[in-house]
Structure 1
Amino acid sequence: MAGHSKWANIKRRKGAQDAKRGKIFTRVTKEIMLAAKLGGGDLDGNSRLRAAVESAKSVNLPKDKIETAIKKGTGEIGAESIEEIMYEGYAPGGVAMLIEAATDNKNRTVAEIRHILSKGGGSLGESGCVAWMFDRRGILRFPKESYDEEQLLEVGLEAGADDVKDDGDTWEVRTEPEALSEVQEAYTSAGLEYTEADVTMVPQNTVPVDKETGAKVLKVYEALDDHDDVQRVYANFDLPDDLLEELAN
């Protein structure tokens, strides 16, 4: 398994252990508001909203806060206007970065994102400079100790999944973003429980970095990920084994 996948697995494990609840609540609330703003407040007719609500439930966001966020998104309750913006840039080592933000002040946010990248040895790029290096995919993850590849393929392919990949201690089922909800429902109906379901940006190829550069890239990544307006950060770096061992410990 490549260094990028190993790092993603480490990040998910540590994220579950060390999550900053306030930041996570803010992030999922903004996603609900954006999804409701763009596609309406009906969960059945808005797959993005349905996914956002499931994500919010998975981090134990209270039901009343979920309902309030939906109403704010649809305009039923007055709230600040949140806009979704994707920034593109580079970290040290020529690593491509996509930064998904939700903000009520675009000028402030872009200035702060530019500062974080520059301070860390990277740069903010023009729209389109790195987005072509990533594909938007639906992802479901299943624990290997619970299921085998054949089980997941049998249900997934019939429901519209594209592939099942070995991702270390999990199986990763990939779909087109539009097919994710239908594939989720198929697995649920079959009694197969996934640990995570999401629409994400997957790098087409990864850039190997040495230990020193990898540490710099991670510092930039973490600074961006900690920013209040940043929803997600995607990157295409491939970390060396010695740095991965340090992170795992």
Structure 2
Amino acid sequence: METGAAPFTAPAALRGPVIGDIGNWLDRTPVHDASRQGQILQLTQLIESGVCVNIVTVDSITPLHEACLHGHIQCVKLLLAAGAQVDARNIDGSTPLCDASAAGSLECMKMLLDYGAKVNPPLFTASPLHEACMSGNPECVKLLIDVGANLEAHDCHFGTPLHVACAREHLECAKVLLVAGANVNAAKLHETALHHAAKVKNKDLIEMLVEFGGNVYSRDNRGKRPSDYSWPNSPTAKCFEYYESKFFQRLLEVCHSSADFDSEKHLAKE
């Protein structure tokens, strides 16, 4: 090993005038690569040499996005301590907390939250809770709910987090949401979580949603009930037949009770 070697110096294009400023719009840089690959020593050297930790790529991805997406907690810690913007958004509107949630990394999520990461994004964009439901990690879902995540956050593509959990067949995530009070009949283009459960032919999901008040007669924008998406004589079709007949029977009982009550009022008047 040579002695007296010149210290590592970052290229001028990677250095920002003030830590925390957004850098130039470039392709992936060494600091992005180090963050993505979890190279702690390399990242430390880059930061010490004056690299702007908020330098972005053409799609607005920061090194912090990279570190969170791959669950590299030590890199996340280094970047945040150096002034990385905790709520930076990429071209898709995702924040580092969204990426950590997608990766299912509780450690990274907790670190970001400690640095003030916002759990609820602007309206109609995917939230960290949506991402946690997509990845299917119920512990991540619980954490986000505990810190105030909006159960009814609505993404224009995915609907609510419950829609996502059901479309991806993540039963435990759906259960956590429902127990926390998520609206079981929330609709996206009139499509409910029960429609999603029917489309993926998941009998367990269907049963759980109905137990939490899912409306088996709700119709989507095509005028179809959840049962219309099940195959004839399939387990899900039989499940819907049972719940629909049960619902109809309950409706008849309510109607009869109401009619009896009206008759009693009429007789009392006479």
Instruction: Provide the TM-score with structure 2 as the length reference.
Output: 0.18
Higher strand share: 1
- Which structure has more relative contact order (CA 8 Å, sep 6+)? It is 1
TM-score, L = length of structure 1: 0.19
Max radius of gyration: which structure?
Answer: 2
